[in-house]
Amino acid sequence: MDIIQRALVTGGAGFIGSHLVDALIKNGNHVIVLDNLVEGFLENIQIHIDSGKCKFIKDDILNADFMLEKLPKVDIIYHFAADPDVRSSVPNPLNSFKQNVQGTLNVLEYARKYKIDKFIFASSGGTVYGDVDINLFPITEKIALNPISPYGSSKAAAEMYLTSYASSYHIKSASLRFANIFGERSLHGVGYDFFNHLNENPDVLNILGDGTQKKSYLHVSDAINAILLVADNLNNQKSWYDFFNLGSEDWYTVNEIADIYEKELNLSNVKHSYSGGSKGWVGDVAKMILSIEKIKKLGFLPKVSFREGVHRYCEWLRKNL
């Protein structure tokens, strides 16, 4: 494994970013976290700040002056700061553009100015491909990007800027197109909602859509292993820019997920009520499973099953909510 001296993690106080910070520090790196704390929590990384191995900067990727004038140079950028909310991007499309496209451009300009030649980007496999014909499942990286939500468009647009910066300014870069990542410290997503709703009302669970939406999920510990693998491979990567789907090889319907959370909470006879329609909300991709053959060639294999991941997550939620 490469020993990387200094890494910048934008959004490093958030769910995935903070797990990445744990792993980078465990591997001997020095980490700078830039996060405006709109969604992240300092306590996710406090232990590393106290140890002196992580420098925390509360600022915003939209503050280009700060990024270009005050942020120290690093060896690699992990760009995870974003507005990750797919659903709210439909009524607020300009916010995804600002945070996820303009914000990414600011981070890329910082990379260009300081000649930072390694860049990892948190993209989204669940949204950039849009509604793909089910006969083409599992979705490979060869499928055209065809997002159906402003959030998906913002991630696809950010990827397009990354590919041009990568080749114009010689930045070895990779995007990871995540399926649904879940686990400890996550405060959004279907599992978080089900856990809370079932605790509030163990008799009835309200489900968005008709419950047949079917997607793949990956535990955050597996996601972190994959991110590090792709980052370590940047030096061997033949092209300036590459992109990898990242998910698991199984997928679950919302009804199945409800059953799994109910079992985890020792509940039986929970009545399900449905908002109706084949999608959870406008802009929702109802069915999605990614092919992970490409990233498997780098040596990736998910280790945590969905059920085991849900168990770990529920243990964490019980202790922390």
Ligand X SMILES: NC(=O)c1ccc[n+]([C@@H]2O[C@H](COP(=O)([O-])OP(=O)(O)OC[C@H]3O[C@@H](n4cnc5c(N)ncnc54)[C@H](O)[C@@H]3O)[C@@H](O)[C@H]2O)c1
Residues tagged active-site:
151
Q: Which of 32, 81, 190, 227 binds ligand X (CB under 6 A)?
A: 81
Letters for 256-295 (x = contact with ligand X by CB under 6 A, - = none) are: ----------------------------------------
- Total residues interacting with ligand X, rule: CB under 6 A: 30
Position among 24, 74, 120, 181 found at the interface with ligand X (CB under 6 A): 181
Strand-pairing partners, residue 253, are: 214
Distance CA 5, CA 44 (A): 22
159 binds ligand X (CB under 6 A): no
Kindly write out the interface string for residues 28-57 of this chain, putting x where it contacts ligand X by CB under 6 A and - elsewhere.
------xxxxxxx-----------------
Using CA atoms, how far apart are residues 244 and 44, in angstroms rounded to an integer? 27
In the complex, the smallest distance separating the C-beta of residue 297 from ligand X, rounded to whole angstroms, is 21
Q: Strands 118-124, 217-219: parallel, antiparallel or unpaired by DSSP?
A: unpaired
Q: How far is the CB of 190 from ligand X (least distance, A)?
A: 10
CA distances from 299 to 75, 133, 218, 227, 228 (A): 24, 28, 16, 12, 11
Residue 138 preceded by cis peptide, ω within 30: yes
The structure tokens 């981070």 sit at: 107
Burial, 108: exposed, middle or buried (Cβ in 10 Å; 0-12, 13-18, 19+)? buried
Residue from 7, 9, 17, 190 touching ligand X (CB under 6 A): that is: 17
Q: Which span (46-54, 74-82, 198-206, 208-216) binds ligand X, by CB under 6 A? A: 74-82
Q: Interhelix angle for 190-200 vs 254-264, to 10°?
A: 50
Cβ closest to ligand X, residue 99 vs residue 245: 99
- Strand 30-35 versus strand 6-10 pairing type: parallel
Q: How far is the CB of 260 from ligand X (least distance, A)?
A: 17
Q: Determine, following the binding rule CB under 6 A, whether residue 80 of this chain makes contact with ligand X.
A: yes
Q: Which residues of this chain interact with ligand X, rule CB under 6 A? A: 10-11, 13-17, 34-40, 60-62, 80-84, 99, 103, 122, 124, 126, 178, 180-181
